[in-house]
Structure 1
Amino acid sequence: MYKKKLSRLLLSGITVVLSLFPLAPVNSVTFQPKGSPQRTSGGASRGICIQERASSQSATGGARSQVAALIPATDGEIAAAAYPTILVQIPESQPLKAEFSLWDENSNGIYQTTLTLTGIPGIVSFTLPDTAPALETGKRYKWTVAVICDPKEPLRNVVVEGWLERKELSSALKSEINSAEPLQKVELYAKNGYWYETVATLAELKRSRPQDRTISAEWQQLLQSVGLSEFGQTPIVNCCQAQNN
């Protein structure tokens, strides 16, 4: 009898403790890529000067010595915005310039701008400005970011690229996102397959709240879900001034 009463008291005590100190929520921002498989990794880059720059990095440089696009290894993820934001990692270097270009699926040039990089290493964002043509719903576009290593030798430039398709939010989803808390917005974008809004919104949260452990954990979880976990510790930095060409 005494043992039964003691067991009840212990269970009651555990229940009270759990109610006062609830378990931390499980990371919930994951992403299931919607595009077709294209490459073996999402952060591929090409160019010669990146190899030279990487060789000058310390042994701990690793992924941070790459120019890399923060996209899944697929051909054509979805964006909701008419003027989407694209994230690229730029390694430590002297200040350089980069060229952001956009084409339609028939390789017709739509927009191009030159950006002056600060030389500060980290993940930077390139947002298509409202002075550019708005992306059309249901159409696919190719974008590139070329870090200009030597203006006289374009083949030395480091280039990352990706494809996207614009798909508008439904009125119901748009209403839900507009009334959601910041991290809930990210979860809604991810759940509905909008990669560019998912990663850009969460990156801005991480940049503005660098000490928030929940956001940092969600950021790492998101990148891990699309095979980009090596960039989880890379800082998110302010970047560039665009120069319309």
Structure 2
Amino acid sequence: MNWKTIPLTLSLSLALLCGVSPRADGGEVPNAIAAAGIDFDSPGEDAPYRTTGGASRGSGTCLSNSESLMAITPHSQIGLTAQGHPTLLVYVPSSSGNSLELIVAGDDGTEMVRKNLPLPIAPGIVSFSLTDADMPPLTIGKPYQWYVSLICDDLDRSVNPVVEGWVKRIELDANLSQKLAGETPAAYPALYAEAGIWQETIVTLFEQRLAQPNNPELKQTWEQLLRSVGLGSVSEAALSTSN
């Protein structure tokens, strides 16, 4: 599995999301609207339980500094999705760990999937895409808990840092579907954010950032979105995704 990585740099001001955006075929399309920087409009649905601030637990014997694994989700809340197989994002700090492990389980603890993944090339925010080959689609209306562990010790798993988050699938509103159909992909993050659908908000913007790493407006919008949910400390981190 290969990791694709881009560096992010500091941006202090907010700007309009403009310019071009990626098409599904990998090209670019003009942005038909100018959307202001995104502040996520959370629906306020709390997770059943959650580690404080999304930071990892475990002694973290292989972490290189004081940083922790961090789930890229709204603080103490469920990340809503309209996808049966959503993409999850985690900040992975510098470490001497061996690999990562992803687990998705139902709210009763029944595991849906457990898979090992390589560490990214560089510290940063990484994506984990779930597919039909991994597990059945999420059931609409049911919460699922997911975990990502940094494997430091294969024998004593209690020392391995682990972070957890929650995701729940919802049915996409017909009005939102109509709005999405009438806009270019550049507008998708703002539309999903307005509807309180976190996973698609962050993932569509994440994908646009990967496609256009030198777009300053996308960079600023990304940083503002992370700051709006208390994740400003990792807003400048590198982005990577597995192929």
Q: Shorter-chain TM-score: which interval? A: 0.7 to 0.9
The equivalent position to 1:96 in structure 2, one of 86, 95, 98, is 98
The equivalent position to 1:47 in structure 2, one of 45, 58, 65, is 58
The equivalent position to 1:197 in structure 2, one of 174, 192, 200, is 200
* Counterpart contact for 1:135–1:166, Cα < 8 Å: yes
Match of 2:176 in 1: 173
Change (3 A) 1:118 1:39: closer
- The letter for the 1-side match of 2:92 is I
Change (3 A) 1:72 1:156: same
Structure 1 unpaired stretches of 5+: 1-24, 56-64, 241-245
d(CA) in 2 for partners of 1:50, 1:227: 26
The equivalent position to 1:31 in structure 2, one of 21, 33, 40, is 40
Shift in Å, 1:140: 0.8
The equivalent position to 2:70 in structure 1, one of 68, 71, 80, is 68
- The letter for the 2-side match of 1:46 is R
* Counterpart contact for 1:31–1:193, Cα < 8 Å: yes
Work out which of the two has the higher radius of gyration on C-alpha atoms and give 1 or 2.
1
d(CA) in 2 for partners of 1:40, 1:33: 19
d(CA) in 1 for partners of 2:63, 2:113: 30
Structure 2 unpaired stretches of 5+: 1-33
- The letter for the 2-side match of 1:190 is A
Report matched runs for 1:199-214 at 5 Å: 199-214=202-217
Cα deviation code 1:118-140 (max 9, x no counterpart)? 34211100111122110011111
| Between structures 1 and 2, the one with greater helix share | 1
Structure possessing the higher relative contact order (Cα contacts under 8 Å, 6 or more residues apart): 2
Shift in Å, 1:168: 1.6
- The letter for the 1-side match of 2:76 is T
- The letter for the 1-side match of 2:55 is A
Relative to the length of structure 1, the TM-score reads: 0.77
d(CA) in 2 for partners of 1:67, 1:93: 10
d(CA) in 1 for partners of 2:207, 2:239: 8
d(CA) in 2 for partners of 1:160, 1:186: 25
Structure 1, 126-135 or 92-101: larger mean CA deviation:
92-101
* Counterpart contact for 2:35–2:187, Cα < 8 Å: no
Q: Percent same amino acid at aligned positions?
A: 34
d(CA) in 1 for partners of 2:207, 2:64: 28
d(CA) in 2 for partners of 1:45, 1:150: 16
* Counterpart contact for 2:92–2:125, Cα < 8 Å: yes
Shift in Å, 1:47: 1.6
> How many residues are treated as equivalent by the alignment?
207
d(CA) in 2 for partners of 1:217, 1:95: 31
* Counterpart contact for 2:141–2:170, Cα < 8 Å: yes
d(CA) in 1 for partners of 2:208, 2:97: 26
Report matched runs for 1:127-138 at 5 Å: 127-131=129-133, 132-138=135-141
* Counterpart contact for 1:137–1:167, Cα < 8 Å: yes
- The letter for the 2-side match of 1:29 is I
d(CA) in 2 for partners of 1:51, 1:118: 15
Shift in Å, 1:74: 2.0
The equivalent position to 2:167 in structure 1, one of 164, 167, 171, is 164
* Counterpart contact for 1:144–1:160, Cα < 8 Å: yes
Cα deviation code 1:81-130 (max 9, x no counterpart)? 00001100111234621111111111111111111123421110011112
Shift in Å, 1:180: 1.6
Match of 1:8 in 2: none
Give SS of 1:110's match.
strand
d(CA) in 2 for partners of 1:228, 1:28: 15
The equivalent position to 1:238 in structure 2, one of 233, 236, 241, is 241
Question: What is the CA RMSD across the aligned residues, in angstroms?
Answer: 2.1
